[in-house]
Amino acid sequence: MDKLHIFSFFSGCGFLDLGFEKSGYTIDLVNEFSPSFLNAYKFSRENLGLAKPQFGYSNMDIANYLGDKSNELSEYIKVVHAQHSYVGFIGGPPCPDFSVAGKQRGREGDNGKLSLTYVRLIIEQKPDFFLFENVKGLWKTAKHRAFYEELKRKLAHAGYTMTERLCNSLEFGAPQDRDRILLFGILKDNLTKKIDLKKEFPWEKYIVADLETTKNLAWPDRDTFVENGEYPCPNNIPIEFTVQYWFDKNDVTNHPNGNDHFVSRAGLAKMEIVEEGDVSRKSYKRLHRWRYSPTVAYGNNEVHLHPYKPRRLTAAEALALQTLPKDFILPKEMTLSDKFKTIGNGVPFIMSKAVATTISEYLNKLIEDGTLHSI
């Protein structure tokens, strides 16, 4: 496992990275443009007792690695290769420009352009493998799909064999209906023989639930909101997919971020009339304790309400819905806006861990049978 090393870009506060690290990879470089998010990344790592990346933390625009910092990055890769280890780039460029809920500026948006920058960086630096993560709008929306296909052509021309899948976090056991496109590639120059990655790669190995079947279960619909009301879990649903299960699992009431939430004084009356389980509206969606959550996202005026308390979710509750370990903590001094933004941007931990494990097992199989060159 320690032969697989990661250079992380658009790292946020580290949800995707933590999934890889807990699957046996070594995180060598962390790049994040937001100082607040990067500080949270450092804070959470220290609290979890994880080692500092050997090439440290980079707080700058990723485009610098295509310019002044290009040679520095190349030298880092050489150092890892000299350790007889493989380098993988992972990253999910900011995605509001492709999101269905965003402004739909696509490739022309400031964030949309970062997807091309990330692909250019992969092409220039030639990591041994890469993972590209983004919203389903890049896959489902016609004008964005054309851009996505262009990115794949560039990577294929640069010598990568690739496979992709539109994954939903519910499939991996997260209590959240969240779609993400994942694109995984291996540098063909490192292979001793041709492989058909599209057919061979076992995307579904660690999937624990069929998406359609799970969504079609007899989930509770809506119930009158009763502050601190009690409501037993129905017998015919898997409790581990529910909001309340993860609240309990992470002991959110006693979590260090358990009091971190926005106070909506002006909207309290409006908040109290929203039924438990009513997630139909653009804003003021009240989660149901015995159902999974809609996508954990708090931009574009989305407000998610606690199932049985007259308030918005706390950061601890949002972290639980992202399936972070209960000892994952955000710093006290971080603003509420930044806390919820970085939480909403992240990949659910158990999903990232499952995907990371699938990749590592596949790569190690190629190493063992001699299909992947020794470094």
Q: Is the pLDDT of residue 339 over 50?
A: yes
pLDDT recorded at residue 94: 80
pLDDT digits (tens, 9 = 90+) for 56-75: 999 999 999 999 999 999 99
Q: Is 233 a catalytic residue?
A: no
Supply the angle between the helices 35-48 and 336-345 in degrees, to the nearest 10: 80
13, 95, 167, 233: which one is catalytic? 95
pLDDT digits (tens, 9 = 90+) for 175-217: 999 999 999 999 999 999 999 999 999 999 999 999 999 999 9
Range in 59-63, 97-101, 305-309 with the lowest mean pLDDT: 97-101
pLDDT recorded at residue 98: 45
Q: Is the pLDDT of residue 43 over 60?
A: yes
Report which of 76, 81, 93, 78 is spatially closest to residue 33, judged by C-alpha positions: 93
Q: Is the pLDDT of residue 302 over 90?
A: no
- pLDDT band at residue 111 under the 50/70/90 scheme: low
- pLDDT band at residue 162 under the 50/70/90 scheme: very high
Secondary element (H or E) of residue 160: strand 160-168
- pLDDT over 90 percentage in the chain: 83
With beta carbons less than 8 A apart as the criterion, state whether 147 and 138 touch: yes
pLDDT recorded at residue 104: 46
Catalogue all structural domains in the chain, each as residue range(s) with its CATH number: 4-208+349-368 (3.40.50.150)
